[in-house]
Chain A
Amino acid sequence: MEKFEPVIVAFCCHYCAYTAADMAGSQRLPYPANVKIIRVPCSGKVDALHIIKAFEKGADGVYVAGCLEGDCHFKNGNERAARRIAYVKNYLEEIGIESERLEMVMISAGMGQRFAQTATEITEKIRALGPSPIRTATAL
Chain B
Amino acid sequence: MITAERKPLEELIEFIRPYKRILLLGCNECVTVCAAGGRKEVGLLASGLQMALLKSGSNIEIRQHTLERQCDPEYVEELVPMLDGAEAIMSMACGCGVQQLAGRFRDKPVFPAVNTKFMGASERQGVWAERCQGCGNCLLGVTGGICPIARCAKQLMNGPCGGSTGGHCEISDDVDCVWQLIWDRLKALGQTERYLDIMPAKDWRPAGGSGPRKIIREDLAE
Contacts and interface: CB of A to CB of B under 8 A. Distances in A.
Interface of A: 47-49, 52-53, 55-56, 91, 94-97, 133-134, 137-138, 140
Interface size class of B (residues with CB under 8 A): 10 to 19
A26 B170 CA distance: 63
Contacts of A52: 43-44, 47-48
Q: Among B10, B43, B51, B57, find the residue whose CB has the most chain A CB atoms closer than 10 A.
A: B51
B40 A95 contact: no
A134 B50 CA distance: 10
Given A49-B44, A52-B44, A94 B54 contact: no
B55 interface: yes
Contacts of B9: 91, 94-95
A16 to B, nearest CB: 24
Given A94-B10, A95-B9, A134 B54 contact: yes
B100 to A, nearest CB: 26
Contact of B43 (A49, A95, A96, A133): A49
Contacts of B44: 48-49, 52, 91
Interface string B55-73: 1010000000000000000
B162 interface: no
A95 B55 CA distance: 9
Nearest to A52: B47
B51 A55 contact: yes
Nearest to B43: A49
Contacts of A133: 55
User: What is the predominant secondary structure among interface residues of chain A facing chain B?
Assistant: helix
A37 B206 CA distance: 59
B57 A137 contact: yes
B51 A134 contact: yes
Contacts of A138: 54
Contacts of B40: 47-49
Interface of B: 8-10, 40, 43-44, 47-48, 50-52, 54-55, 57
Given A49-B43, A96-B52, A137-B54, 14 more contacts: A49-B40, A52-B43, A52-B48, A53-B47, A55-B47, A56-B47, A91-B9, A94-B10, A94-B52, A95-B9, A95-B52, A96-B51, A96-B55, A138-B54
25 contacts: A47-B40, A48-B40, A49-B40, A49-B43, A52-B44, A52-B47, A52-B48, A53-B43, A53-B47, A55-B47, A56-B47, A56-B51, A94-B9, A94-B10, A94-B52, A95-B51, A95-B55, A96-B51, A96-B55, A134-B51, A134-B55, A137-B54, A137-B55, A137-B57, A138-B54
Contacts of A97: 51
Contacts of B57: 137, 140
A114 to B, nearest CB: 31
B47 to A, nearest CB: 5
A58 B61 CA distance: 18
Contacts of A134: 51, 54-55
Contacts of B43: 49, 52-53
A128 to B, nearest CB: 20
B147 to A, nearest CB: 31
A140 B56 CA distance: 12
Contacts of B54: 134, 137-138
